[in-house]
Amino acid sequence: MFNLFRLVLKRDLLLALRRRSEIFTTVFFFVLVVSLFPLGIGPDLEILRLIAPGIFWVAALLASMLALERLFSVDYEDGALEQFILSPRSLVLIILAKTGVHWLITGLPLVIICPLLALQYDLSNTAIYALFFSLLLGTPSLSLIGAIGAALTLGLRGGGVLISLLILPLCIPVLIFGAGAVEATAADLNNSGHFYMLGAILIFSLVLSPIASAFSLKIAM
């Protein structure tokens, strides 16, 4: 099982690196959205510190959705997905590896650059640390939940819009607790409850999302 996961992860990562424009598009979109708000709102640091957690999390959610439509569509178009389904190997494990690659190319770069972008909002060091770890803990859940929407809309015309309609309501808890962890830290309050909830959502998504995505792909095929 580990070899299967490693091989699919390596294969999809190599294919993703050949399409570097998708990675740069996601990162550029995130940087652009986060950087435009200070320019539009002005130099009022109190307001910037207040709205920073929500802006970062909304931008991360929208950026992670940019590449969701292609999560399974490339394999669907060239027939590889059909072979995955017919294979005696675990489809759940294959989906988990593909979702991991999606997070590596869309979620992880956002987590890495967020401390630098947070300086625009005059966040304290503790708030920046909370933002970093909340995104590190929450963005994998966005990819896992998004995989369900990508599987349900596979092969449909206008699938990108349908993914948004299906996924956004399910991602609201991640958004609330992720932004809440940073807000609690900035207000010198206990933020452990928010991180516990983010961890619980991640575990819940790791267990159920690949199974739901596997059933959805079989229906789509």
Residues of the chain by 3-state class (helix, strand, coil), percent to 5? 85, 0, 15
Note the pLDDT of residue 166. Answer: 82
- pLDDT mean across residues, the chain: 87
Residue ranges, the chain, pLDDT below 50: none
Q: By C-alpha distance, which of 215, 80, 210, 63 is closest to 139?
A: 63
Q: What is the DSSP letter of 43?
A: S
60-73 CB burial, b ≥16 within 10 A, e <16? bbebbbebbbbbbb
On whether the pTM is more than 0.85, the answer is: yes
pLDDT in tens, 98-110: 899 989 988 899 9
Q: What is the DSSP letter of 120?
A: G
**Cα angle, residue 124 at apex, residues 123 and 127 outer, rounded to 5°:** 80
Q: Give the domain ranges of the chain.
A: 2-220
Burial of 129 (0-12, 13-18, 19+ CB in 10 A): middle
Note the pLDDT of residue 6. Answer: 85
